[in-house]
Amino acid sequence: MREATAVNVVQFLVQEVFYKFGVPELIHSDNGKQFLSKIFQDMISTFGVRHLRTAVYSPQSNAAERQMFLDGNCYKLARKLQSLTEHEVHALDPANKCHIIRERIKANLHQAYERSSQRYNKRARIFFAKPGQEVYRRNFTLSDFGKSYNAKFARKFLKCRVVRPVGNNAYELEDLAGNPVGIFHAKDLKL
């Protein structure tokens, strides 16, 4: 798109994605102004889509699903029904169906958790900060030729203060003067 304004982004998502491929369960975006705008938030609530934002300079990828749904709330039901094969579901009474579905989902979630925790814990470092604690955040400034500024010579970390934790690995920060800085992932922070 030539201009990624909020109106253009909403129009593209609705006409080129939602109407052609179906409504997603969630949208994971960066912290761009177009994703924080009122028109985007209205579109998200209209279609029943959950919106997650990444921490500053820490993009994460999401797995894409191929079913076409017209409402974001349909994904939970589809996951439950697809955890059993078709002939297993029809042969059971409703109480047993729910029990088997729950048990299979629980087992699948536990296996996925174990696999991902083993991969993650190989290189994980423990970082915990409390609200009000001063920490150092990575400086993500960019070079500006017009202002004769080279980011290579800037400080690598800047001192700031934790406002609150956001999830398990991200923190909302403010500078020492009390101005909001944004949300930073723990990998970009140090004590």
Residues 6 or more apart whose CB falls under 8 angstroms from that of 21 comprise: 68
Fill in the DSSP letter of residue 145: G
Asked whether the predicted pLDDT for residue 135 surpasses 50, the reply is yes
Q: For 80-121, how does the pLDDT look when each residue is reduced to its tens digit (9 = 90+)? A: 666 545 555 555 566 676 777 777 888 888 888 888 888 877
Q: Which pLDDT belongs to residue 64? A: 37
Q: For 33-87, how does the pLDDT look when each residue is reduced to its tens digit (9 = 90+)? A: 899 899 999 999 999 998 888 877 765 443 333 545 566 666 666 666 665 455 5
**Cα separation of 79 and 117, whole Å?**
22
Q: Which residue, among 156, 158, 159, 162, has the nearest Cα to 127 in the 3D structure?
A: 162
Assess if CATH 3.90.550 describes domain 134-190: no
Asked if 13 and 44 count as a contact pair (C-beta separation under 8 A), the reply is: no
Q: Domain coordinates of the chain in residue numbers?
A: 6-53, 83-121, 134-190
Q: Which pLDDT belongs to residue 68? A: 54
User: At 184, is the pLDDT very low, low, confident or very high (cuts 50, 70, 90)?
Assistant: very high
Residues 6 or more apart whose CB falls under 8 angstroms from that of 162 comprise: 129, 130, 131, 132, 133, 134, 135, 171, 172, 173
Q: Which pLDDT belongs to residue 62? A: 37
Cβ burial, residue 163 (10 Å; 0-12/13-18/19+): middle
